[in-house]
């Protein structure tokens, strides 16, 4: 039995069966959501999840910037939070409370305008605040764990909770959110600072990112986590380059020539080709160095077409 075979709970927002997801991802590939839920607000989301059969899987996605949606689609319910209900920003004396749908870069800009320092690194992270909390996203020497005070979540059973940062089990590019939970808002610490200096740091981060990463391509951000220093002193891109993978291609998928820890859809790639190419890279790195690269990009749904 599937989600569309069941009577779904009422949602004030929008419910769409067999909803295309691929075009919404940064890779521009992937299948459909069995059901796509776009709640109006956190209360709407909580009521929906309380009434949803526990047999139906739930998966939250943000702007799908660090995500491969597999070609066979995503069973169950995919929750996507819209800026209208989850995009508020509240400036406080020593921090910012942001809705989960706020773009990371936009939060950095709000902080700069308010003269709040410490959140500049968000300008280097493609995605939204909810996803950044869920994966403890980081860049340029800082991560969400360094600035997060608390996160509001709605659990799979529809319970609204405010969890302190230490309860989220934040580690390198991971958290221990309860399965099926959805982040709805977060509070980020900051300190008063000079507006021009803060804006200058944001501009420098964006310029560095533009110069070193394929930001205008169909990509998904960093593909693999950097290894634990105890395993290797080299970063993921260095291991990939040493294994001869820069520019490696499979169908319409390719390893970026500009930054070889980025996969690209060069035009017409399938999700299966992207994932299979990633697995080829992992195998070559393993053979060359003995290091087992770990995916940083999330992969969801049912494989279809070319399997990895």
**What positions carry a catalytic annotation?**
173, 222, 296
Cα(211)–Cα(94) distance, rounded to whole angstroms? 32
Burial class (CB in 10 A: 0-12, 13-18, 19+), 257: exposed
| Local structure of 269: helix, strand or coil | coil
Q: Which long-range contacts (CB under 8 A, 24 or more apart) does 118-125 make?
A: 118/142, 118/147, 118/189, 118/190, 118/191, 118/193, 119/147, 119/188, 119/190, 120/198, 120/201, 120/202, 120/205, 121/205, 123/202, 123/205, 123/206, 124/205, 124/206, 124/208, 124/209
| Strands laid side by side in the 249-250 sheet | 249-250, 253-255, 263-265
């Amino acid at each position: 039995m599937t989600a569309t075979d069941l009577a779904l709970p009422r949602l004030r927002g929008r419910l769409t069966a067999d909803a295309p997801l691929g075009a919404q991802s940064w890779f521009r590939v992937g299948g459909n959501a069995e059901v796509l839920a776009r709640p109006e607000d956190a209360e709407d989301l909580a009521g929906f999840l309380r009434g949803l059969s526990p047999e139906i899987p739930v998966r939250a996605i943000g702007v799908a910037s660090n995500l491969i949606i597999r070609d066979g689609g995503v069973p169950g319910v995919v929750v996507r939070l819209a800026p209208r209900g989850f995009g508020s920003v509240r400036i406080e004396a020593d921090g910012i409370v942001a809705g989960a749908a706020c773009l990371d870069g936009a939060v950095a800009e709000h902080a700069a305008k308010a003269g709040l320092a410490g959140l500049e690194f968000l300008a280097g992270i493609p995605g939204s605040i909810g996803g950044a909390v869920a994966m403890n996203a980081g860049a340029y020497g800082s991560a969400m764990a360094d600035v997060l005070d608390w996160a509001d979540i709605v659990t799979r059973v529809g319970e609204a909770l405010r969890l302190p940062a230490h309860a989220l089990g934040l580690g390198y590019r991971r958290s221990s959110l309860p399965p099926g939970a959805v982040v709805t808002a977060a509070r980020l610490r900051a300190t008063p600072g000079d507006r021009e200096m803060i804006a200058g740091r944001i501009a420098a981060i964006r310029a560095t990112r533009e110069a070193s990463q394929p930001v205008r391509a169909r990509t998904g951000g960093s593909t693999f986590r950097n290894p634990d220093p105890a395993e290797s002193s080299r970063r993921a891109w260095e291991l990939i380059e040493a294994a001869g993978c820069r520019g490696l291609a499979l169908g319409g998928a390719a390893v970026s020539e500009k930054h070889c820890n980025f996969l690209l859809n060069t035009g017409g790639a399938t999700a299966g080709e992207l994932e299979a190419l990633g697995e080829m890279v992992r195998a070559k790195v393993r053979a060359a160095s003995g290091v087992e690269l770990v995916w940083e990009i999330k992969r969801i749904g049912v494989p279809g077409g070319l399997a990895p």
